[in-house]
C-alpha cells in the first residue's frame, strides 16, 4: 500500500507526464506549421510515448491501492523562434523530468518503499536515453547552422521514428482475476 505522501507524489508525476505529452503535441503542431513534417512525426511519437508513461504511473498507483486523481494540465507554449529552439526546449524539459524522477526515487528510499523504488528504476534508465537523444538532435542542429539542406535531411531522418509501446507497458489494465 502506498503512503499518502508517495501517492500524492506519483499523482503529481502523472500530471507531469501528461503535460509532457501536451507539450510535445504542441511542438508537433508548430513543426507542422513551419513545414517540418519529419520533426512533427518525431514529436507526435514522443507525445504518445509520454502518454504511455502517464499510463504506466496510473496503473502502478492503482495496483498499489492508491487513488489516482486527475488535475488540471498547464497550457504549453505554442510557438518557438526556430526548430533549434524547439529541440533545445525538449532537452531542457527532459532534464527537468529527470530531476522529478530522481526526487521520486529519493522519496521512495526515504520511505523504504522498495516496490516503488523498483518501479521507478525503469524511468531512471528511460531518462538517460531521453536526455541523450534530445542532446544529440540539438548538437546536430547546431552543427548544421544555417544550412537549409542539412535541416531538410535531418527532418527526413527524424520522420522515420515510429511509436512503439515501451516494453512491459500496457495501456489497459490487466483483466480482473
Give contact residues for ligand FEO (rule: CB under 6 A): 17, 20, 50, 53, 94, 97, 130
In angstroms, the CA 172 to CA 175 distance is 9
Report the distance separating Cα 19 and Cα 25, nearest Å.
10
Nearest CB to ligand FEO, comparing residues 58 and 151: 58
Nearest residue to ligand FEO, scored by beta-carbon proximity? 53
CA distances from 35 to 24, 56, 125 (A): 16, 33, 33
CA nearest to 98, candidates 20, 176, 32: 20
**Minimum distance, C-beta of residue 158 to ligand FEO, in the bound complex (Å):** 16
Q: C-beta of 132: minimal distance to ligand FEO in Å? A: 12
When the beta carbons of 20 and 26 are compared against ligand FEO, the nearer one is: 20
Cβ proximity to ligand FEO, 80 vs 122, nearer residue: 122
Asked if residues 91 and 138 have their Cβ atoms less than 8 Å apart, the reply is yes
Q: Which is nearer to ligand FEO, 17 or 155 (CB)?
A: 17
Amino acid at each position: 500500500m502506498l503512503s499518502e505522501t508517495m501517492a500524492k507524489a506519483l499523482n503529481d508525476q502523472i500530471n507531469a507526464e501528461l503535460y509532457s505529452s501536451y507539450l510535445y503535441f504542441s511542438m508537433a503542431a508548430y513543426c507542422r506549421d513551419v513545414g517540418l513534417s519529419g520533426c512533427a512525426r518525431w514529436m507526435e511519437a514522443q507525445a504518445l510515448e509520454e502518454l504511455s508513461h502517464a499510463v504506466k504511473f496510473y496503473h502502478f498507483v492503482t495496483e498499489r491501492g492508491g487513488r489516482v486523481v486527475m488535475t488540471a494540465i498547464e497550457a504549453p507554449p505554442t510557438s518557438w523562434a526556430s526548430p533549434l529552439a524547439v529541440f533545445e526546449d525538449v532537452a531542457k524539459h527532459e532534464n527537468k523530468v529527470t530531476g522529478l524522477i530522481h526526487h521520486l526515487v529519493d522519496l521512495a528510499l526515504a520511505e523504504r518503499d522498495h516496490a516503488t523504488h523498483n518501479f521507478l528504476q525503469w524511468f531512471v534508465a528511460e531518462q538517460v536515453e531521453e536526455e541523450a537523444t534530445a542532446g544529440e538532435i540539438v548538437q546536430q542542429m547546431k552543427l548544421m547552422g544555417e544550412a537549409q539542406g542539412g535541416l531538410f535531411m535531418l527532418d527526413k531522418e527524424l520522420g522515420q521514428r515510429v511509436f512503439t509501446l515501451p516494453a512491459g507497458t500496457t495501456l489497459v489494465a490487466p483483466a480482473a482475476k
